[in-house]
Structure 1
Amino acid sequence: MKICMMTNTYLPHVGGVARSVSTFAEEYKKLGNKVLVIAPNFDGAAVPKKQEAIVERVAAIQNFNGSDFSVRLPLATALSDRIDLFEADIIHAHHPFLLGDTALRVAAGKNVPVIFTHHTRYEDYVHYVPYDSPALKKAAVNLSTEFANLCDGVIAPSESLARLIRRRGVKAPIAVVPTGIDVKSFAKGNGARFRKKFKIPANAFVVGHIGRLAPEKNLAYLAESVALALKKIPNSRFLVVGGGPDEEKLRGVFQKHGIEPQLTMAGKHTGRSLHDAYRAMDIFAFSSFSETQGMVIAEAMAAGLPVVALNASGVREVVQHGVNGYLLPERTPSRTFAAHIIKLHGNRTLLKKFSKAASKTSLNFSREHCAELALAFYEKIRQDTRRQRLVDHLTPLGTVMNRISIEWEILARNARTLTTAIAS
């Protein structure tokens, strides 16, 4: 199968969507499929030639509105020769705007099905747009829902998100397919090597967190909770891996508590270094409400880490309270969250029990299994849409009318979103 994936974020950007696209691309190729990724240019470390060989880059604005995202310039990519020559069987959009619109146009012009992965709750990210407001959040919900209904099929990374978007009005067929992880690699990380590099004592109790350090991640709460715990645990550290606009806010919480030396900000890591980072931790702490899948939690569990987290979308599918960690109510006070970290530190038998269960849980999220689920959904959508695509192909004006219809729907949707934004 020839699969063209269009995404607004990709390597070397470090984030959930970029990692999801690259993971599936690698697995699809391993299974004998051909893959083309359309993505914006990004500042940062060079992508290995083998990974970059399947990528067609488009011009983009870097660090949009203070974020670490690139925003594709309007009309920065037309139907390039590479897309034409690729002759995709499936177009897979990973965002409901920018290159998402391009995906709809390409699919309509090529008369092939388009799949959309609803990676996130987009209303949680409107703070990156000027004049954030409840009306804009509603516009973000409507935009992603309408986009999903212009597609032939939708992938939800978790059952929680699948239920949510159905309630919001998504009528297109939905499949639940998490982003797979390399279970074996995370299990084999060298934690001692990472601790030595960042001068963390070998016998220290390390609470860890990995992810983008951004407002939607509820990091002020997490930092407060972990700081309260570490003040009660001798020889302890908070190891934070990642980067983003909220890095200084996180430091500020530890400064306030007078324990900044117990905070290790390790920056962004990928590949073997990321695997080592997980293994350098004793437990994993997580408090985000904006996740649609618990990818970093699954990775942590593959490294054998019990998880202390808040009950939220994408998290509850991975963390089993009292089995592989603690899944605490949404409005849990910071002191209660801290108490559960302290409890795990004080009970090594329980810590070991949770660790073993976490490793077992991670097997449900192997990248091989998840890629097979996605490919099966592709094939189902291809079969379900085959008759209509054949009619369009045989009708001289079929494909043209389909393209006109898509253009009209995109224009109408964007007009509604713009009206809502202006009204707000």
Structure 2
Amino acid sequence: MPTRTEPPEKRHVICMASDFFYPNTGGVEEHIYNLSQCLMKRGHKVVVITHSYGQRGGIRYLTGGLKVYHLPLLVMYAQCALPTMICNIALIRYILIRECIEIVHGHSAFSVLGHEVSIIGKLMGLKTVFTDHSLFGFADTSAVLTNKYLQMCLCECDHCICVSHTGKENTVLRAKVKNHKVSVIPNAVDAYNFIPDPSQRDPNFITIVIVSRLVYRKGVDLMAAIIAEMCPKYPKVRFIIGGDGPKMWLLQEVREKMGLQDSVTLLGSLKHSEVRDVLVKGDIFLNTSLTEAYCMAIVEAAACGLKVVSTKVGGIPEVLPESMIYLTEPNVSSLIEGIENAMEDIREGKILCPYKCNNMVRTMYNWMDVTRRTEIVYNKISRNKNNPLGYQLRSYLTSGVWPFILLISLMYLLLQLAEKIYKRKHIDIARDLQL
């Protein structure tokens, strides 16, 4: 394992592509930003392609000179761009050539833009990597459509990265990616931004903190049932809930109907910079997710010294050691039992020192380690030979969706047309003039 001061084996020029990036907040956005910053510290060049967010459009620069292209795309649903595949070819081609991109790194299975940039990059002869941040099922209609779309888009991807071993198994099964083309590189957390502060805790109460998007898959129904059952039973228990979403009404309804305004605090949407200030007020962190590939929230909570109680779904059992977490079944009775066990440990003093927890997280998960492991993937795929168009079409044929081959062929023809109208040398001259 190279030290932090050693230079990389090869300098790469990388394009991170996803619909999900700042100013939107979430695990994918944080992953892209931190990985990009560390890659630049290691000597690589990184640019980000995403869509515009409100008034934030055009080209922006973030910390360290990270260049972000906010494309003027129509947002269709949940911050995902409209999946046209062909309307943005000229613009994306221009950016990839102007920035001399060698590797396109797409993020998130839901990101239409990430897949679109990756496919265009592959047709241009670039190397492509995809990171899957989520788990999906196989039964419902949305899962079937998402899995088929992912299978089509990953047919010619050079390598895939998953954030947990459970996530790898899920991606291999639903996207039919070859096992040797998938690596496991976990997420990380900047533990220095989540330093514990036990003085912020209220010694008269046991405070349970929840920081989550309030959507179905995060188990909001379980949260509401737990609050309704525990608050009357334990008057010394307080809940602090940070986050917003379409299921916020359920928590508000429980609080109002049961008169729990003093016991339940709803903070609403939080900036990421505010999360630590909320976490340090708690004794226990509760995660009720119904599906999760990794869960950054429990790592951040553990770094702040909280005892974690979480459902053991997806990749969560891989994340923290037993001394830092109680794993439960995704039902109310099991979660309440886990909370009661954590409360008993707190009363008896059977908990780790918060600063020791922070040091453990700092050792287990850090972005420079994630970056070095990602570099290994980049170095590996940079030696791959590019496949001709005919071979690529045969690969896309394996998805079983014949019209998709016609779409790929049309995209290739439009790229050739763009080459005739606006040649590469003109883009190079424009870049030199800009510099």
Q: TM-score, length-normalised on structure 2?
A: 0.78
2:188 counterpart letter in structure 1: G
How many residue pairs are counted as aligned between the two chains?
A: 384
Equivalent runs, 1:75-94 vs 2, <5 Å:
75-76=87-88, 78-79=91-92, 81-94=94-107
Provide the C-alpha distance between the structure 2 equivalents of 1:229 and 1:287, rounded to a whole number of angstroms. Answer: 15
Residue 185 of structure 1, aligned match among 164, 185, 193: 193
State whether structure 2 residue 165 is matched by structure 1 residue 159. yes
For the residue of structure 1 that corresponds to 2:251, the secondary structure is helix
Provide the C-alpha distance between the structure 1 equivalents of 2:163 and 2:403, rounded to a whole number of angstroms. Answer: 25
| C-alpha deviation, 1:414, in angstroms | 7.0
Q: Are the structure 2 counterparts of residues 139 and 102 from structure 1 closer, same or farther at C-alpha, using a change threshold of 3 Å?
A: closer
Match of 2:208 in 1: 207
Residue 147 of structure 1, aligned match among 135, 145, 153: 153
Provide the C-alpha distance between the structure 1 equivalents of 2:244 and 2:103, rounded to a whole number of angstroms. Answer: 34
Aligned alpha-carbon RMSD (Å): 3.2
Q: Are the structure 2 counterparts of residues 120 and 347 from structure 1 closer, same or farther at C-alpha, using a change threshold of 3 Å?
A: closer
1:370 counterpart letter in structure 2: V
Contact 2:118 2:128 in 1 (8 A): yes
Task: Give the structure with higher Rg (CA).
Answer: 2
1:138 counterpart letter in structure 2: V
Match of 2:8 in 1: none
Match of 2:352 in 1: 353
Provide the C-alpha distance between the structure 1 equivalents of 2:318 and 2:208, rounded to a whole number of angstroms. Answer: 22
Equivalent runs, 1:25-40 vs 2, <5 Å:
25-40=36-51
Match of 1:170 in 2: 177
Which stretch shifts more, 39-48 or 175-184?
Answer: 39-48
Equivalent runs, 1:241-260 vs 2, <5 Å:
241-260=242-261
Equivalent runs, 1:14-413 vs 2, <5 Å:
14-43=25-54, 49-51=61-63, 54-62=67-75, 64-65=76-77, 67=78, 69-72=79-82, 74=84, 75-76=87-88, 78-79=91-92, 81-96=94-109, 98-123=112-137, 134-168=140-174, 169-171=176-178, 173-187=181-195, 192=200, 203-321=204-322, 323-330=323-330, 332=331, 334-348=332-346, 349-350=348-349, 352-353=351-352, 355=354, 358-359=357-358, 360-361=360-361, 363-383=363-383, 385=384, 388-389=385-386, 398=388, 412=401
Contact 1:344 1:351 in 2 (8 A): no
2:285 counterpart letter in structure 1: F
For the residue of structure 1 that corresponds to 2:221, the secondary structure is helix
| C-alpha deviation, 1:211, in angstroms | 2.0
| C-alpha deviation, 1:222, in angstroms | 2.1
| C-alpha deviation, 1:356, in angstroms | 6.5
1:372 counterpart letter in structure 2: R
Provide the C-alpha distance between the structure 2 equivalents of 1:147 and 1:365, rounded to a whole number of angstroms. Answer: 30
Provide the C-alpha distance between the structure 1 equivalents of 2:166 and 2:253, rounded to a whole number of angstroms. Answer: 33
Contact 1:190 1:276 in 2 (8 A): no
Instruction: List runs of 5+ in structure 2 lacking aligned partners.
Output: 1-11, 406-435
Q: Are the structure 2 counterparts of residues 205 and 142 from structure 1 closer, same or farther at C-alpha, using a change threshold of 3 Å?
A: same
2:96 counterpart letter in structure 1: I
| C-alpha deviation, 1:260, in angstroms | 3.4
| C-alpha deviation, 1:161, in angstroms | 0.8
Q: Are the structure 2 counterparts of residues 44 and 279 from structure 1 closer, same or farther at C-alpha, using a change threshold of 3 Å?
A: farther
Provide the C-alpha distance between the structure 1 equivalents of 2:230 and 2:402, rounded to a whole number of angstroms. Answer: 48
Contact 1:143 1:413 in 2 (8 A): no
Contact 2:196 2:355 in 1 (8 A): no
Provide the C-alpha distance between the structure 1 equivalents of 2:185 and 2:206, rounded to a whole number of angstroms. Answer: 34
Q: Are the structure 2 counterparts of residues 293 and 413 from structure 1 closer, same or farther at C-alpha, using a change threshold of 3 Å?
A: farther
Q: Are the structure 2 counterparts of residues 49 and 151 from structure 1 closer, same or farther at C-alpha, using a change threshold of 3 Å?
A: closer
Q: Are the structure 2 counterparts of residues 118 and 191 from structure 1 closer, same or farther at C-alpha, using a change threshold of 3 Å?
A: farther
Match of 2:14 in 1: 3
Task: Determine what percentage of the aligned residue pairs are the same residue.
Answer: 20
Provide the C-alpha distance between the structure 2 equivalents of 1:376 and 1:57, rounded to a whole number of angstroms. Answer: 29
| C-alpha deviation, 1:363, in angstroms | 2.8
Provide the C-alpha distance between the structure 1 equivalents of 2:60 and 2:51, rounded to a whole number of angstroms. Answer: 16
Q: Are the structure 2 counterparts of residues 161 and 204 from structure 1 closer, same or farther at C-alpha, using a change threshold of 3 Å?
A: same
1:185 counterpart letter in structure 2: N
Provide the C-alpha distance between the structure 2 equivalents of 1:11 and 1:37, rounded to a whole number of angstroms. Answer: 10
Contact 1:233 1:342 in 2 (8 A): no
Provide the C-alpha distance between the structure 2 equivalents of 1:410 and 1:356, rounded to a whole number of angstroms. Answer: 50
Provide the C-alpha distance between the structure 2 equivalents of 1:351 and 1:280, rounded to a whole number of angstroms. Answer: 19
| C-alpha deviation, 1:99, in angstroms | 1.3
Provide the C-alpha distance between the structure 2 equivalents of 1:380 and 1:34, rounded to a whole number of angstroms. Answer: 18
Match of 2:408 in 1: none
Q: TM-score, length-normalised on structure 1?
A: 0.80
Contact 2:61 2:67 in 1 (8 A): no
| C-alpha deviation, 1:176, in angstroms | 0.6
Match of 1:127 in 2: none
For the residue of structure 2 that corresponds to 1:180, the secondary structure is coil
Instruction: List runs of 5+ in structure 1 lacking aligned partners.
Output: 125-132, 196-200, 393-397, 417-424
Q: Are the structure 2 counterparts of residues 111 and 297 from structure 1 closer, same or farther at C-alpha, using a change threshold of 3 Å?
A: same
For the residue of structure 1 that corresponds to 2:259, the secondary structure is coil
1:57 counterpart letter in structure 2: H
| C-alpha deviation, 1:255, in angstroms | 3.1
